[in-house]
Amino acid sequence: MCGIVGYIGSHQAAPVILEGLSKLEYRGYDSAGMAVFDGKKIGICKSVGRLKVLEELTHGGATMPGTVGIGHTRWATHGAPSNQNAHPHYNQEETIAVVHNGIIENYLPLREKLVSKGYQFVSDTDTEVVAHLIDYYYKGNPLEAITKVMNRVQGSYALGILFAEHPDQIFAVRKDSPLIVGQNEDGCFIASDVPAILKYTRKVYFIENQEVVRLRADHMHFYTVDEEEITKEPVTIDWDANAAEKGGYEHFMLKEMYEQPKTVTDTLMPRIKGNDIVIEELGMGDEEIKAIRKIFIVACGSAYHAGMTAKYVIEGIARIPVEVDVASEFRYRNPILEEGTMVVVISQSGETADSLAALRESQKLGHKVLGIVNVVGSSIAREADNVMYTWAGPEIAVATTKAYSAQLIALYLLAMKFAKVRGMLKEGEFRSMLGDLKRLPGQIERLLANKQRIQRFANRYIGAKDVFFIGRGIDFAISMEGSLKLKEISYIHSEAYAAGELKHGTISLIEEGTLVAAVATQDALFQKTLSNMVEVKARGAFVLAVTNEGNTDIEKAADYCIYIPRTNPYFTNSLAIIPLQLFGYYVAVGKGCDVDKPRNLAKSVTVE
Ligand code: AGP
């Protein structure tokens, strides 16, 4: 996620901004920049790379004198990491400077409109549109221009804005992307997150959606989008600095689990236009989509598990044959990729060596590759023929959660797009599924609220030796991810099994008290999975069931039930995985494991 810091007061702004940005580095970024008013004009310095590069360029801020400024660390979403795309962004006359965290979903039509009015762009970012749009509406009154922009842009934004004609003020604006402001005897601050200003003040104001703040050196004013002044109560932060980096959460993993409603929204909503799905970055027209005869999905770990889910969804609704392979196998088995085969490589980091090799192998065999990637400008993103980003923001915890959830969304969208273009989905069905997709963020939120109950259950299994996850169809794919979440951070042996396969050997491992997590969200297979639950229970297993609300029959065979809200059967992974993530997390916490950095694991496996 991008980081924003701003300062106006009696001290030099640049050093305060650099210090604040350094406390936001944990959020992940690829470039950094600052804008400071030097008494005559707004100077900007920005560069791709680590914050250290900016510090060196500005000699610790000394080359940017002035007491009012804004700064930014960029996590690329639109436009690869580069000096040009780094923030802040100017208007043409360089009298307005903007830093932004979030995604302007309608930036393309706005950009076209501004170009038609003579505006020239120097970057590929959605943020530069905001700088020019403010300029377009600015007639001398910053607040008026800002609120007009707020009524025109769609998407999520936290903005810091400087006006050269109003050098005694900074403006901060928020919609969906977090933003706080604070004050002490030396000035006023804006920041994306508490750690950036904790050194200066523990009394902060959390900006709500569609609120604007005008900061001066010694006071702040708060406004609504209708320019009505409002009063706000400050909050006193009692976190220590380390906790503050995690937004008050104990671990990044927990913080990222709680970001899932937003990452699902950010990946989904920009691709839903009215009652249609528009995947601009797909690079395929309807005829090409109709010509697909087979899809190969290649990935590793959790990304592979997302691919397994996609197999059931794409084959189920688009009726296109799908083969899913782990990249380390695919790259060496001389795969048979026939005419009309589309290859999809899924990767959060975009740097996984095996997945990158699989991409290159596919292209060598003459096939185009679609990358589904989270890190903009990563190797897989750059080398894929087309890339569909999962806008999950930087994922710090080694065990993926929010990026995995975003991958599922990208794959559902792909499947529905293909199904509709190939005439496999009626309009009514399509719209009903769109409605189900839009309800997922709120349903995930409801499941996350369940964490205490999951924690209590998890505490019973801190001493477990073996845990089995079973399911059929999509429930088998869910089981794979649930099993990996548990074992990779708690170090407890766990396996996922197709429920119908258990009796062909592995059931001999079930002993008195062995935990078996049965995932039963596929109503069409519910009775079959119920039978498998009875089978393992008869051999002494303790059965945890994850199923849809209303399936109370399951209580005949389960010892402990977790119900998920009803959704389309193709989307249940997005919900069932939430309690399983929480389960793995709380078992690991109960064991005192290093949840964010599990032993032997790396966030990105860039070697074979
Ligand atoms: C999942 O929690 C692990 N971090 C791991 O399995 C990961 O999914 C795998 O290494 C693939 O990484 P990628 O998505 O960055 O390619």
CATH of 450-595, one of 3.40.50.10490, 3.20.20.70, 3.90.550.10, 1.20.1050.10: 3.40.50.10490
Predicted confidence (pLDDT) per residue in 545-583, tens digit = 999 999 999 999 999 999 999 999 999 999 999 999 999
pLDDT at 394: 80
Ligand 1 pocket, 373 CB below 6 A?
Answer: no
CA 536, 537, 540, 543 dihedral sign is positive
Q: Give SS3 for 125.
A: coil
pLDDT at 498: 97
Concerning whether 368 is annotated as a catalytic residue, the answer is no
pLDDT at 195: 85
Q: Report if pTM > 0.85.
A: no
Report which secondary-structure segment, H or E, holds 425.
none
Q: Would you list the domain boundaries of the chain?
A: 3-238, 242-449, 450-595
Q: CATH assignment of 242-449?
A: 3.40.50.10490
* Residues 58/14, Cβ–Cβ less than 8 Å: yes
Predicted confidence (pLDDT) per residue in 126-175, tens digit = 999 999 999 999 999 999 999 999 999 999 899 999 999 999 999 999 99
- Same CATH fold assignment for domains 242-449 and 450-595: yes
pLDDT at 79: 85
Atom 7 of ligand 1, residue of closest alpha carbon = 301
Closest CA to 87 of 6, 188, 153: 6
Measuring CA to CA, how many Å separate 589 from each of 458, 542, 593, 606? 9, 22, 6, 27
Predicted confidence (pLDDT) per residue in 107-117, tens digit = 999 999 999 99
Closest atom of ligand 1 to 605 CA is 10
pLDDT at 416: 98
Concerning whether 465 is annotated as a catalytic residue, the answer is no
pLDDT at 244: 64
Ligand 1 pocket, 99 CB below 6 A?
Answer: no
Closest atom of ligand 1 to 488 CA is 2
Kindly give, in sequence order, each residue whose CB lies less than 8 Å from that of residue 142, ignoring residues fewer than 6 positions away. 161, 163, 166, 169, 171, 214
Residue stretches of the chain with pLDDT short of 50? none
Atom 3 of ligand 1, residue of closest alpha carbon = 399
Ligand 1 pocket, 486 CB below 6 A?
Answer: no
Q: CATH assignment of 3-238?
A: 3.60.20.10
